[in-house]
Amino acid sequence: MQDYRVDPGSAVNLADIDPNAPAELTKQSVKEETGALNRRLEGLQELLYAEGKHRVLIVLQAMDAAGKDGTIRHVFDRVNPQGVKVASFKKPTPIELAHDYLWRIHSKTPGTGEISIFNRSHYEDVLIVRVLNLVPEARWSLRYQHINDFERRLVDEGTTIRKFYLHISKDEQRLRLQARLDDPEKHWKFDSGDLDQRARWDDYMAAYEEVLSRTSTEEAPWYVIPSNQKWHRNLAISQVLVATLEGLAMDYPAPKDDLRGIVIE
C-alpha cells in the first residue's frame, strides 16, 4: 500500500507509474483476499456507525472510464447504505457558481459515524477548470492551498480522509470507451464530451501530477492506484480502507443500561 501512497511534496510523473497490476498477481489469486476484505469492511463500517465518533471521507478522481462507479459498486457492495453517502460533483449549477467553489462541497462531507464518497470532487476546480481555462490561472493557482487548508480543517474536526487517483493507460481508456459504443445497453454511459477530454490527455496528466504533488499531505494522502485491471483496483483500495478503519481503534459503545440477566420472553 505504501508503494501507491504519494509522499507529501514529492514530484509525480504518471508516465513512470505502471497502470497494470503487479505481475505476480492474478484475478484468481486474489479472489479470496478480496472477499475477506469486503466482509471486513462491512464489519468496520457497522462499527464506525455504531460508535459514532469518527467521520470518513473518500475521494475518487480519474479520467473518464477509469472506474469510479465500479469502485463504489464493488468495494462497498456489502456495506449498510444507511451509513454511506455518495456525492457526484458535475457541472456547477447557476446557484453553485454564484458562490465560492467549495460552497457546494462542504455540505456533502460526512457526519459523525458516516462514510462519504466523492465521485469527482473539489479537485475538478484545479483539473477541468485548469485544462479548459474556465477561470484565470491567477485564481485556480491559489486553490491548491485553499484545498489543503479545507481538508486540514476537516481532519482537525475529526474527519479521516483518503484520496484515490485511479490510474489507467490511454489505450485502456480507448478500449473501455469503445466497449460502451459497441454495447447498446451501455450507450447511456457514453458522452461525446469524453472524446474532447481524451484529446487533452497530456494536459490532464500534467494537471493531475500537480494535484498529486501539491495536495498529498500526511493527514489527507493521495494514493495512485494502478487500475487497468479492475480486480486489482478493487483489491488495492479495499486494502487501504480496511487498514485505515482498523487504525481508528474503534469499539462498540457500552449499553446505556445494565443488560445482564435480561431474558426476552
Q: Domains, the chain, ranges and CATH?
A: 14-246 (3.40.50.300)
- Distance between CA atoms of 164 and 237, rounded to whole angstroms? 8
- Distance between CA atoms of 260 and 262, rounded to whole angstroms? 6
Enter the pTM of the model. 0.95
Measured between its terminal Cα atoms, the distance across the chain in Å is 50
The one-digit pLDDT tens for each residue of the chain (265 residues) are 678 999 999 999 999 999 999 999 999 999 999 999 999 999 999 999 999 999 999 999 999 999 999 999 999 999 998 899 999 999 999 999 999 999 999 999 999 999 999 999 999 999 999 999 999 999 999 999 999 999 999 999 999 999 999 999 999 999 999 999 999 998 988 888 889 999 999 999 999 999 999 999 999 999 999 999 999 999 999 999 999 999 999 999 988 788 788 888 8
- Distance between CA atoms of 125 and 123, rounded to whole angstroms? 5
**Facing residues of 32 across strands?**
none
DSSP E strands: which ranges in 70-210? 84-88, 115-119, 159-167
Q: At 228, phi and psi to the nearest 5?
A: -60, -35
Query: Under a CB-based contact definition with an 8 Å cutoff, are residues 198 and 64 in contact?
Result: yes
SS (H, E, C) 43-81: HHHHHHHHHCCCEEEEEEEECCCCCHHHHHHHHCCCCCH
Place of cell 489543503: 148
